[in-house]
Amino acid sequence: MRSDHDVFSGYVRAGWYPNQKPRSFRCGWCGRSVTSETGLQNYSDKLVGPLEPPGDEPEFKIEVRICNACNVGTTFFEDFQLPKPLRGETINSDGKDKALDLIVKLYGEARKALSQDCPSCAVLMFRKLLMHIAVQQGAKPRLRFVDYVDHLKSESVIGKPLFPLLDRIKDAGNEENHEIKRATTEEAEDLLNAVTHLIKSIYPQTTRSA
Ligand SMILES: [Zn+2]
């Protein structure tokens, strides 16, 4: 069996040291604001996978911080945090309506996509959510997307004052679907607020423990 000394010298050979200073952050797992003194740090000049190195420096600091509220690790590449705290409000379904449960779960997926720095995924999910909401509200499945939006408007599922919100979600999802561009985090967060408002106004029962 490897001794503690062997284990720690393996860490040191790989460049890992205990964190030198406390770090304050909002945990992406439990959502609490914490100051962590526990974790490891290293330096690297490359990232594996789809992430891009933060900034132009040839070498950057990686930290793994253990949250002292939930004990789960969060990774920092310099100041870039993964996972980030969930954005937007928590919405709960009542468990009695499967279609509504699905809408709430998909909404949760969009929030998680944003916490993983994937704004385009979130924007596409917002478009998909409009389709699910329309079907839950009586539209036939397999319609064209524009027909789902019309259903939400013409069947008075959504009041006229909210039409501009609906159109914004529709148009942003459309751009994401057809144009070669990536949504920004700001765009996605703005739409998240619009979608949250829409869901809460159609399903007021979902806001009881938000
Ligand atoms: Zn935590």
Map out the domains of the chain with their CATH numbers: 4-82 (no CATH), 98-207 (1.20.120.330)
62 contacts 42 by C-beta, under 8 angstroms:
yes
86 contacts 28 by C-beta, under 8 angstroms:
yes
What would the pLDDT profile of 143-165 be if each residue is shown by its tens digit?
888 899 889 888 888 888 888 88
Separation between Cα atoms, residue 31 and residue 85, nearest integer Å: 6
Lowest mean pLDDT among 37-46, 91-100, 132-141: 91-100
C-alpha 81 to ligand 1 mean position (Å) = 13
Average pLDDT over residues 29-57: 80
49 has a pLDDT exceeding 60? no
209 has a pLDDT exceeding 90? no
- Encoded amino acid at 154, one letter: S
C-alpha 85 to ligand 1 mean position (Å) = 10
C-alpha 71 to ligand 1 mean position (Å) = 6
What would the pLDDT profile of 66-108 be if each residue is shown by its tens digit?
999 999 999 998 888 989 999 888 888 877 788 889 999 999 9
Identify the residue with better confidence: 56 or 72.
72
Average pLDDT over residues 46-62: 67
What would the pLDDT profile of 170-189 be if each residue is shown by its tens digit?
887 676 666 667 888 888 99
DSSP string, 117-130: T-HHHHHHHHHHHH
Separation between Cα atoms, residue 183 and residue 118, nearest integer Å: 9
Q: In this structure, what DSSP letter does residue 58 have?
A: S
Q: How is residue 129 written in tokens? A: 């959510």
